[in-house]
Structure 1
Amino acid sequence: ITLQACGSEDTRLSEKDPSPSSLAEFVVENWTSQPVGMVGIPNGWIGKDWGNSKYDFRVEAAGLGRVLHLKSQRGGTAIISKEARVDIQQYPRLEWQWNVAVLSMDGDARKGGEINDHSAQIYVTFARFPTKVRSRTIGYVWDTFAPTGTIIKSEKTVTITYIVVRSGAADHGKWITERRNVREDYRQIYGEEPYGSVDVV
């Protein structure tokens, strides 16, 4: 997971392209400091006790890097968070890679309750006191049925607004790189500039 700033959307620093660039980056997590084969909540992350929590995580080698593998079972949640104190004005872009092996048949951001079960999701939270009722969270989701580009507030948690960045089975089983301008998404949803620390889930 990488928070990026400046430069164009297609210009970024990476191990494959180490050439100088005007695009700075703040690495939230790339799993290289986590031991391969580690099971459970990764070092530096915190488990979120939301509902029936089940933390079936494993750090695995993939190509030249490492990934976090999550096995999810029906009726269980697996949510972890890592606080990243980032100046969102300086680092407005979020980049991550994900791979969904099996799509949830209960995934539809447009519907609440039992049929709102996304296959994969990344949350960016902007804390505001009191946090449980005033914090603002953008949830970037891979949904089964809701079309890409859908923006909708959660029916279950009033502080969360979902953005569907990928939908359906066309790309499942593949590693996909996503890039979002979090600052622009925040302004579109809330009509003002973001501020405060960022929490990535």
Structure 2
Amino acid sequence: MPTFRTLASSLLLVPLTLTCGALAQGAEPGAAFSAVKPGASLPDGWQNKPVVSGKKLTRYALVAEQGTTVLQADASGSASGLVHEGDVDLARTPVVSWRWKVAGPIPNADNSVGDREDAPARLVFFFDGASNKLSIGDRAEMLAASAAGDKLPYATLMYIWTNSAPVGTVIANPHTSRVQMIVVGGEAGKWQTVRRNVASDFQKVFKEAPGKLTAYGILTDTDNTGATARAWYGDIKFGAAK
């Protein structure tokens, strides 16, 4: 069984006790980067959190791209996610849509291999759930985290950009089945629009209905390969299924 630290380095441990508080009542979930000026501070509620304490932070900044403000992510041997507390009603708004663009693939990255598990662009969703459904090993990891003052999500669903596997491929994190990745892009140098039903995808990969969505975020990471990567993210929107 991988150690607690190994799991943390695989992004199972992104602190969910953020200081910003839960999504304000009446506020729309997602990210409206286009509504602010380039160079401005990040929107309220978003925090740059390392995947484990001590990791080098990926740099996230608002920049102009083709007349629109977008989020630019620059990683150099770093691994941190821009995270927002969730509390999104997936029964009402299960669909997430966004745009992103990747400058280029990460050499030698392979999300199925632990020491090469990097991606230039990811959207990440953290879920609560009934821990009694977990394996003994997974429950032990959660207990160890609680003893250390941390909280592990019950399950983590990621949408990733990679050119090492075809679009539509589902990849289990090499250290734990509680993190599942779906490949949704692999073409560099151009903007891609993605629309996914988070609730349906969770059901597909975890074989159960999703629990409460506790947080969501953006992740550009190169800590395992030590490479550099750049990606751009447009607005993130939640909506009803159609």
Q: Percent identity?
A: 27
How far, CA to CA, are the matches of 1:192 and 1:122 in structure 2? 21
The alignment's TM-score, normalised by the length of structure 1, stands at 0.75
How far, CA to CA, are the matches of 2:209 and 2:178 in structure 1? 17
Tell whether 2:65 aligns with 1:62: yes
Call closer, same or farther: CA 1:189–1:57 in 2, change over 3 Å. Answer: same
- Aligned pairs, how many? 170
One-letter code of the match for 1:143? T
How far, CA to CA, are the matches of 1:64 and 1:106 in structure 2? 34
More helix by share: 2
Call closer, same or farther: CA 1:34–1:156 in 2, change over 3 Å. Answer: farther
1:44 aligned partner: 45
> More deviation in 96-105 or 57-66?
57-66
Answer whether contact 1:152 1:163 (CA < 8 A) is retained: yes
Tell whether 2:158 aligns with 1:139: yes
- Displacement of 1:157 in angstroms is 4.7
1:84 aligned partner: 86
How far, CA to CA, are the matches of 1:121 and 1:184 in structure 2? 18
- Displacement of 1:181 in angstroms is 1.0
How far, CA to CA, are the matches of 1:192 and 1:158 in structure 2? 14
How far, CA to CA, are the matches of 2:121 and 2:127 in structure 1? 20
Call closer, same or farther: CA 1:42–1:134 in 2, change over 3 Å. Answer: closer
Deviations 1:44-88 (A, max 9, x none): 212222242323121012334310001111x21131201132111
Tell whether 2:183 aligns with 1:164: yes
Listed as ranges, the gaps of 5+ residues in structure 2 are: 1-27, 132-141, 143-149, 218-242
Answer whether contact 1:183 1:194 (CA < 8 A) is retained: yes
Q: RCO (CA 8 Å, sep 6+): is it higher in 1 or 2?
A: 2
How far, CA to CA, are the matches of 1:55 and 1:95 in structure 2? 23
RMSD: 2.3
Answer whether contact 2:126 2:153 (CA < 8 A) is retained: no
The alignment's TM-score, normalised by the length of structure 2, stands at 0.63
Answer whether contact 2:37 2:69 (CA < 8 A) is retained: no
One-letter code of the match for 2:175? K
Give structure 1 regions of 4+ aligned residues with deviation exceeding 3 angstroms: 32-35, 128-134
1:72 partner SS: strand
Which one of the candidate residues 89, 103, 107 is aligned to 2:109?
107
Answer whether contact 2:86 2:216 (CA < 8 A) is retained: yes
Listed as ranges, the gaps of 5+ residues in structure 1 are: 1-25
Call closer, same or farther: CA 1:173–1:187 in 2, change over 3 Å. Answer: same
Answer whether contact 2:63 2:71 (CA < 8 A) is retained: yes
More strand by share: 2
2:38 partner SS: coil
1:79 partner SS: strand
